[in-house]
Amino acid sequence: MPEATIIKQRQDMVDSHQTFSLGKEGFATAFSDRFDRLLPFLERRSAARQADLGLDDGDGLGDLSLVARTFSKEIVPLWRWKPGSNIAGGDRGAEIRLGQQYLTPALRTDVDGEGDVGFDVAVPCPHDDECTGRAWVPAYNVTCLFRALNGDLDDDEGIVCTVHGPNHADDQDDEDTPGIEERDLEAVHG
């Protein structure tokens, strides 16, 4: 390309960004960094939140609001409450299904004895592969759901089986565990 053409293109580019040349042609020049963009962004997010909560005279997410806050709004379409189900021992059970894969979460309304709410998800019993009870592990976010479905939580210390109790609980005495008496004596005598 001839050098004169390159110089002309560069000069045209510089001229196009000069506000006085556009002003002469009747245009007002505005650059994006001069606009207030945070306020409209927050306004849109606020409106979406108000809609989710049903404060815009709509239905909102209703009883799925906690699900969306805990696991993400993307989980909500996959979530189905199971009314009348007894799988969660009196707490509210649900199912998250996509294709043939599913998880069974439960809404716990008193996770700490002080009325706080949270979720558990069903996992295999870590004590017995043929256990007929249900084993539950806390699910704090969507990563916990992924890990439960992937099998990463199958031996988690937070698991509680309805038949066998807690997994690796400190208060369990397993008499079949080799060396337990020696460890107990060592703990007492130092």
First-to-last C-alpha distance (Å) of the chain: 86
> Does 134 reside within a domain?
yes
Residues 78 and 138 in one domain: yes
Residues 28 and 80 in one domain: no
Residues 26 and 90 in one domain: no
Nearest CA to 67 out of 80, 82, 86, 49 is that of: 80
> Can you give the pLDDT at residue 106?
94
Instruction: Identify which has the larger pLDDT, 168 or 166.
Output: 166
- In total, how many domains does the chain have? 2
> Can you give the pLDDT at residue 93?
94
> Does 97 reside within a domain?
yes
User: Does residue 146 carry a pLDDT above 70?
Assistant: yes
Residues 25 and 78 in one domain: no
- Token digits of residue 75: 């989980």
User: Does residue 165 carry a pLDDT above 90?
Assistant: no
User: Does residue 176 carry a pLDDT above 70?
Assistant: no
Mean pLDDT of the chain, nearest integer? 82
Instruction: Give residues with Cβ within 8 angstroms of 133, minimum separation 6.
Output: 125, 161, 162, 163, 164
User: Does residue 45 carry a pLDDT above 70?
Assistant: yes
Residues 86 and 151 in one domain: yes
Residues 84 and 28 in one domain: no
The average pLDDT across 80-101 equals 91
Buried b (16+ CB within 10 A) or exposed e, 88-118: beebbbbbbeeeeeebbbbbbeeeeeeeeeb
CA 153 from centroid of its chain's CA atoms: 16
Full DSSP string of 122-187: EE--SS-TT--S-EEEEE-SHHHHHHHHHTTTTT-TT-EETTTEETT-TT---TTSTTHHHHHHHH
Instruction: Identify which has the larger pLDDT, 178 or 18.
Output: 18
Q: Give residue-wise pLDDT tens across range 110-132.
A: 878 888 889 999 999 999 989 98
> Can you give the pLDDT at residue 23?
66
**Cα(17)–Cα(129) distance, integer angstroms:** 72
Q: Is residue 68 packed enough to be buried (19+ CB in 10 Å), middle (13-18) or exposed (0-12)?
A: middle
> Does 43 reside within a domain?
no
> Can you give the pLDDT at residue 37?
78
Nearest CA to 67 out of 99, 94, 98 is that of: 94
Residues 23 and 88 in one domain: no
User: Does residue 179 carry a pLDDT above 50?
Assistant: no
Range of the domain at 117: 72-166
Residues 78 and 30 in one domain: no
> Does 183 reside within a domain?
no
> Does 66 reside within a domain?
no
> Does 40 reside within a domain?
no
